[in-house]
Amino acid sequence: MPNTIICGIDRSTHARAAARFAGALARRLGLPLQLVHVVDEDRPSTSRTVLEVLRSVMGDDVDLADVAIRLDSGATAERLAAAAHGAEMLVVGTRGEGAIRQTLLGSVSGALARAPSCPVVVVPPRAVERSEALLAGRCVVAGVRDRRDIGTAHEAARIAQRLGLALTLANVLPASPQAALGPLPDALLIGAAEDAELAEELLNDVARSISVNVPGDHEICVLKGATGLELECLADARHAAIVAVGSSERSPLDAALTGAASRHLMRRSRRPVMICPTRNPTR
């Protein structure tokens, strides 16, 4: 549904936290909110009992006066993705299980974040207790791997502007082996410096492209280390409201084994994580 925030719900703690954040986000953006609950296919999708239970549970977390609750049936990730097609964004919670366990047993949030048609905001377990106050943050932090994340940066800039927040663009270089191996040869030091210069040039180019539609001095930051951890620490240091990253192009198992940044943040971040489609900006 266009210009609507969709939030997947059930009666769990993490779903209720997602609903609180989605409600706060909808109010700040002036957009309608729709809560969607998916039931098994063998259960009637118009069950009045289910609706009454959901309204009772969610009423403590969200003002339901102007909020629609929709019931659907089928595979949860598929039905939520369909409900969010063309929406402003989709908000979901997550249990924060280990990456391998999520992959083997299945994860709704992980499935929705792999190839989203609209931005998917995941509220991690560590953000649950802070979900009502998170939009009081100072900025949106956007991870930029390379030019495939230009769309992510534009989406982050757009949401930052609408929330009245600053934007920080960050690129994370691989950690230097110097600590483990001792002093580096001059040739490797030069290479590391060149990598940092290229990363800074990339971020400046992205910032300039953003400024065409979202004027302002956007902060850039080049980091070194594990991408997910460094973005998590940067978001904490900058008191970010949201961390934005591009969707992973790896298979679920490969992403779990190699520690994709999005998976790390979905498990560990204290801030909601916005997973953006990897595409060129169109809005």
DSSP the chain: -TT-EEEE--SSHHHHHHHHHHHHHHHHHT--EEEEEEE-TTS-TT-HHHHHHHHHHHTTTS-GGG-EEEEEES-HHHHHHHHTTT-SEEEEE-----HHHHHHH--HHHHHHHS-SS-EEEE-GGGGGGTTTGGG-SEEEEE--SGGGHHHHHHHHHHHHHHT-EEEEEEEEPPPTHHHH-SPPHHHHHHHHHHHHHHHHHHHHHHHHHHTTS-S--EEEEEES-HHHHHHHHHHHTTEEEEEEEPP-S-HHHHHHHT-HHHHHHHH-SS-EEEEPSS----
pTM attached to this predicted model: 0.83
Q: Is the pLDDT of residue 181 over 60?
A: no
Is the pLDDT score of 283 beyond 50?
A: no
pLDDT digits (tens, 9 = 90+) for 13-27: 888 889 889 998 999
Average pLDDT over residues 28-39: 91
Indicate if the pLDDT at residue 3 is higher than 70: yes
Domains of the chain, first to last: 134-275 (3.40.50.620)
**pLDDT for 48 beyond 80:** no
pLDDT for res 81: 92
The dihedrals phi and psi of 92, each to the nearest 5 degrees, come to -140, 160
pLDDT in tens, 54-110: 787 777 778 888 888 888 888 899 999 999 998 999 999 987 554 434 443 347 888
Closest CA to 158 of 283, 47, 259: 283
Per-residue pLDDT, 106: 45
pLDDT tens per residue, range 201-248: 999 999 999 999 898 889 999 999 999 999 999 999 999 999 999 987
Q: Which residues pair with 273 in a beta bridge?
A: 122, 243
CA–CA gap between residue 187 and residue 108 (Å, rounded): 46
Residue that wins the pLDDT comparison between 275 and 125:
275
